[in-house]
């Protein structure tokens, strides 16, 4: 059997990682400014993470959600404190798409409505409703097509108001990334997020904050939407919450009431996933990684802005987009093969993404800046 060939890959195999470095099968070391696609939050093979997962595996790998799993409560407690949403409720699943799928479904159960407003450029995942709310026709199969989802331009408050004025009573939810990742790091303005909050309140719609990529402290606040000073009704998470262990989560406002059977999953919230996510919360809290993400992000963005041939640098914390005047494919390839640095691409060919671990140091930033400056000349 061979692999179903859907990924264009670099001819490099990563076999080892430690902190912000990874090594390939030939023993070559790389600086990881990509975090395996915003997944590595506390660094590769963090000792506390390895210990928590190893200990758990020796005790119990899995048992189903039909019995009490007190680690889920420990995780809910720690996540509530870390995110400043202690009164919210936690539902655990396995991926970002699944988190968004469940969030839109839960919103619809909650208010009995079926329309979803999404934003142009959005990426919410590849399951049925999540992909329908993703602004990329190439990955929406005919079976996923639905009239339930409408797309509005990012940060266009007038368009949002017009949509609510036209069919506000049918709108079940508005889903928005605080910082769009795949679109090439497009930051939602505070004023736009406030407008979503006020219109959702007025029309009994649910505000879903997709924090799969921009959450878990990456932006310098636990949720990037926190920068706007508003609370969403549902936050969706994945990627950084498990530092590589597959886990998705919904943080759900207290006014949304659960009922038995409303949502469910076989694997969501299993013992190993909880051990991973608890370890991540512990390290983020103990090592002040949210604050570090803010500081290192500012340092990187300030320094990148001084380099030649940069059209724009944007983002928050350690979620940074660097827009060049040209396609970034060549420079990205040189970064990997010549400078031994991983960075991310984006849906916008001219934009590179930096999504490193939140415990990145100034020394790591300087390695990147020196190499990048050399290639830009
Ligand atoms: C903002 C956002 N939402 C959802 C997803 C989907 O997550 P997953 O690939 O875990 O299903 C992604 C993945 O890149 C994402 O960036």
Tens-digit pLDDT string for the chain (377 aa): 999 999 999 999 999 999 999 999 999 999 999 999 999 999 999 999 999 999 999 999 999 999 999 999 999 999 999 999 999 999 999 999 999 999 999 999 999 999 999 999 999 999 999 999 999 999 999 999 999 999 999 999 999 999 999 999 999 999 999 999 999 999 999 999 999 999 999 999 999 999 999 999 999 999 999 999 999 999 999 999 999 999 999 999 999 999 999 999 999 999 999 999 999 999 999 999 999 999 999 999 999 999 999 999 999 999 999 999 999 999 999 999 999 999 999 999 999 999 999 999 999 999 999 999 999 98
Last residue of a domain, one of 286, 317, 348: 286
24: its two tokens: 């390939």
Residue 75 falls inside a structural domain = yes
- Sign of the Cα torsion 303, 306, 308, 312 reads positive
Same domain, 247 and 335: no
Identify the CA nearest to 188 among candidates 226, 221, 150, 159.
226
Same domain, 37 and 58: no
Which residues have C-beta within 8 Å of that of residue 7, sequence separation ≥ 6?
A: none
Binding pocket residue ranges, ligand 1, CB within 6 Å: 95-97, 100, 123-125, 177, 181-182, 210, 212-213, 238
Give the count of domains, the chain: 2
Residue 4 falls inside a structural domain = no
Distance 239 CA to ligand 1 centre (A): 8
d(CA 51, CA 361): 23
Same domain, 183 and 311: no
Same domain, 107 and 215: yes
pTM of the model: 0.98
Residue 165 falls inside a structural domain = yes
Last residue of a domain, one of 241, 261, 286: 286
User: DSSP 3-state helix, strand, coil percentages of the chain (rounded to 5)?
Assistant: 40, 20, 40
Length of the chain, in residues: 377
Per-residue pLDDT, 377: 87
Same domain, 215 and 336: no
Roughly how many angstroms between the first and final C-alpha of the chain, as a whole number? Answer: 46
d(CA 35, CA 295): 18
Last residue of a domain, one of 286, 320, 354: 286
Distance 39 CA to ligand 1 centre (A): 10
Task: For a ligand 1 pocket test, name from 38, 123, 178 the mutation site with the most ligand atoms within 8 angstroms of its C-beta.
Answer: 123
Same domain, 229 and 334: no
Please state whether beta strands 21-24 and 14-18 pair in parallel, antiparallel, or not at all (unpaired): antiparallel
Range of the domain at 182: 47-286
Q: Which helix (H) or strand (E) holds 186?
A: strand 186-187
- Domain CATH for 137: 3.40.640.10
**Which runs of consecutive H residues, i.e. helices, occur in the chain?**
35-38, 47-59, 70-83, 96-111, 128-132, 157-167, 190-203, 271-286, 289-305, 329-337, 362-376
Distance 238 CA to ligand 1 centre (A): 7
Residue 6 falls inside a structural domain = no
Residue 365 falls inside a structural domain = yes
d(CA 92, CA 333): 37
Which residues have C-beta within 8 Å of that of residue 200, sequence separation ≥ 6?
A: 174, 206, 207, 233
């Amino acid at each position: 059997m061979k692999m179903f060939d859907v990924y264009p890959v670099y001819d490099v195999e990563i076999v080892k990682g430690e902190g912000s470095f990874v090594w390939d099968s030939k023993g070559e070391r790389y600086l990881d400014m990509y975090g395996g696609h915003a997944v590595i939050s506390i660094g590769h093979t963090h000792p506390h993470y390895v210990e928590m997962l190893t200990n758990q595996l020796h005790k119990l790998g899995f048992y189903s959600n039909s019995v009490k799993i007190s680690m889920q409560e420990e995780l809910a407690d720690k996540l509530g404190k870390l995110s400043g949403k202690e009164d919210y409720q936690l539902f655990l699943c396995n991926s970002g798409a699944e988190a968004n799928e469940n969030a839109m479904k839960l919103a619809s159960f909650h208010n009995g409505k079926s329309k979803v407003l999404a934003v142009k450029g959005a990426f919410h995942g590849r399951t049925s409703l999540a992909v329908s709310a993703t602004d990329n026709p190439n990955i929406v199969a005919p079976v996923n097509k639905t009239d339930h989802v409408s797309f509005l331009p990012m940060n266009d408050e007038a368009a949002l108001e017009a949509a609510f004025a036209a069919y506000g009573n049918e709108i079940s939810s508005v889903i928005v990334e605080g910082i769009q990742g795949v679109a090439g790091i497009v930051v939602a303005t505070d004023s736009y997020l406030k407008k979503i909050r006020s219109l959702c309140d007025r029309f009994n719609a649910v505000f879903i904050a997709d924090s799969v990529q921009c959450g878990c402290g990456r932006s310098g606040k636990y949720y990037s939407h926190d920068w706007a000073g508003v609370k969403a009704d549902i936050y969706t998470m994945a990627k950084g919450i498990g530092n590589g262990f597959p886990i998705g989560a919904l943080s759900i406002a207290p006014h949304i009431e659960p009922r038995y059977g409303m949502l469910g999953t076989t694997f969501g919230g299993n013992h190993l996933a909880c051990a991973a996510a608890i370890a991540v919360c512990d390290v983020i809290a103990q090592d002040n990684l949210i604050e570090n993400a803010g500081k290192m992000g500012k340092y990187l963005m300030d320094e990148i802005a001084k380099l030649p041939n940069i059209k724009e640098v944007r983002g928050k914390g350690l979620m940074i987009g660097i827009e060049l005047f040209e396609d970034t494919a060549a420079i990205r390839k040189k970064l990997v093969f010549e400078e031994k640095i991983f960075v991310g691409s984006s849906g916008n060919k001219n934009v590179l993404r930096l999504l490193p671990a939140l415990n990145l140091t100034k020394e790591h930033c300087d390695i990147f800046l020196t190499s990048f400056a050399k290639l830009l000349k």
